[in-house]
Structure 1
């Protein structure tokens, strides 16, 4: 069997759910993502001894929300209220299993809070540090996560790309090289805009590669280049 290459690429995106009013249900969606995905992922990556472990694409809405001071304060309040709830659950726990479960989550939420506070409530700092050390690669996605093939004008598509790059540079202080196409959707011409804006690679569904013209000689088993020297890799 021939050896190949495997790229682990994670896409971090949520709709922009920051509201003027506090306590909106939609914001809980983001808080759960921070609690169950972003912070635990930081724990794992911080202990990694390997370079280029994975690639993470951060959509501009996620970047803006994670860096928002209002969201940060609301998330800390969310964690502290969860800790208060766990104290009440501890009083109600009767069986050994219930007590162990409550103890597990009390310890976990304490660690989550400590991690969040250690980054001055901005966990993007953690991902940026890992990016700068070469542990991970960070890339961007369309400004509003628009389905680009359905965006009517080239100017509007370019705006999605340019604003995404600006947002990424604001938070990571470097221009992204890769671009996650929302829903992995591609149409001819998008690659040219990306190349003109300094982006060099994206990821698409298998059928986009298999049905390319001309047909790739290696099928979907290898990245391909567009006529504008843009690289596409298959997602799974």
Structure 2
């Protein structure tokens, strides 16, 4: 059986800058990936295709796809895209006029789709796919923390609140999750089981490359599924993956007058100014060849793994969803043709839940510390280059827990426990501080200054609210919490009363 798993995630970007890093990142990904990929899945579902993809949507991305500010910003961005295309259509060069006409049509189609299908946010779009049995949705912890480094109480709270958020948005509680960065440390399977999580993803090396079946973790009933790197890297390899083909649109080359992308890759060593104009027909032919190649790659892998283990095997290919469209322009077209071609080739396709329910599960495994980052260990999130962020995260979590424990400890015995929006906002800011994205961006030197600023901004918010709470300045704490909530108003269902207590139970 073949299972395609897509992991959709961006950090909280709303109200925290626009360009070059900030909301622009969200809107580009929305236009290039989330709109066309969900449209592909909806179209295939209407044709009767089911159980096509296991689609992970992190709570922090889901929050932005439903957020009124982000919805308004996205609508504005799409209109601006159409205006830029109109400008290109009036330029002197024929290649730019063709580009402008093509982009104008694409922007118009995206606007129509957004105004008709997305006007109430992303949740109705995803619910429609779930109701049509087109996909399995994976959930995850709030704000995407690197769980192995997180205090167990905060880890439990983040996960259970993330699953609660999924239930609220989609009227569907995911059976599985994509743990942020595929991060794992022994014992997490117990927390997963307690939260009702039945399965999760790890990277292939965590299973020593044997990803032919899901595996229960130690003596739990929780199943881990491993990403098959041999198959996944056929697509997602910086050196030989499909997106680098000469016919595909070049990600890095812009028309600086309009911000549009006019060129094809042409060649890896070809400078931007010498790249050939993009040709959709050439790209379409390349997609056909790569779909055929990928189907054959899956078929060969299924045969070889089944022969090796003496029973029908499982192949799991897993990718960031944003690869399909945002990074690789032709990605949504590739997905559509692939999802049609697989059943036509006689390949059994299903979700991770299908794999579990159909018996593609082997014996127990003792998972070690792991991730899908560089080295398949924790160096990206715990290495020397981010040691300051590790210390910051520890301080923020400790301050949050200590402050809330003292506040709850001072409550009169038997007094009713009322919801406290100050405590809720403290937890929001703490969780935003410990987002795994900031350490990743610093380690990879990708907008590192923005990442550090974001971590310290949320830490500052937490500190000043906590200081007001600890010093008994209740009105100041409310004012500060409300002020920060205007920027960081995600997860309205987050409830600090559900934070696990220091000695078990709830706070």
- Higher RCO (Cα < 8 Å, 6 or more apart): 2
Is the partner of 1:221 in helix, strand or coil? coil
Is the partner of 1:202 in helix, strand or coil? strand
1:233 aligns with 2:225: yes
Residue in 2 that maps onto 1:200: 198
Determine the C-alpha separation between the residues in 1 that align with 2:125 and 2:177. Answer: 21
Deviates more, 1:202-211 or 1:78-87: 202-211
Residue in 1 that maps onto 2:14: 18
Is the partner of 2:2 in helix, strand or coil? coil
Residue in 2 that maps onto 1:55: 54
User: Residue deviations 1:99-155, cap 9 Å, x none?
Assistant: 22211110101111111111225133222201111001111122121111111x321
State the 1:207 CA deviation.
Answer: 2.2
Residue in 2 that maps onto 1:185: 183
Maintained 8 Å contact 2:90/2:97? no
Change (3 A) 1:8 1:188: same
Q: Gaps spanning 5+ residues in structure 2: where?
A: 230-507
Is the partner of 1:89 in helix, strand or coil? helix
Determine the C-alpha separation between the residues in 1 that align with 2:6 and 2:33. Answer: 11
Determine the C-alpha separation between the residues in 2 that align with 1:123 and 1:105. Answer: 24
Q: How does 1:1-236 map to 2 (within 5 A)?
A: 5-19=1-15, 25-48=21-44, 49-95=48-94, 97-119=95-117, 120-151=119-150, 153-210=151-208, 219-226=210-217, 227-235=219-227, 236=229
Change (3 A) 1:29 1:66: same
Change (3 A) 1:221 1:103: same
Residue in 1 that maps onto 2:281: none
Maintained 8 Å contact 1:39/1:123? no
Is the partner of 1:66 in helix, strand or coil? helix
State the 1:35 CA deviation.
Answer: 0.6
Determine the C-alpha separation between the residues in 1 that align with 2:169 and 2:141. Answer: 15
The Cα RMSD (Å) is: 1.7
Is the partner of 1:92 in helix, strand or coil? coil
Is the partner of 1:7 in helix, strand or coil? strand
Is the partner of 1:41 in helix, strand or coil? helix
Determine the C-alpha separation between the residues in 2 that align with 1:99 and 1:81. Answer: 17
TM-score (norm 1): 0.89
State the 1:56 CA deviation.
Answer: 0.8
Determine the C-alpha separation between the residues in 2 that align with 1:164 and 1:43. Answer: 25
Determine the C-alpha separation between the residues in 2 that align with 1:196 and 1:54. Answer: 26
Determine the C-alpha separation between the residues in 1 that align with 2:123 and 2:63. Answer: 10
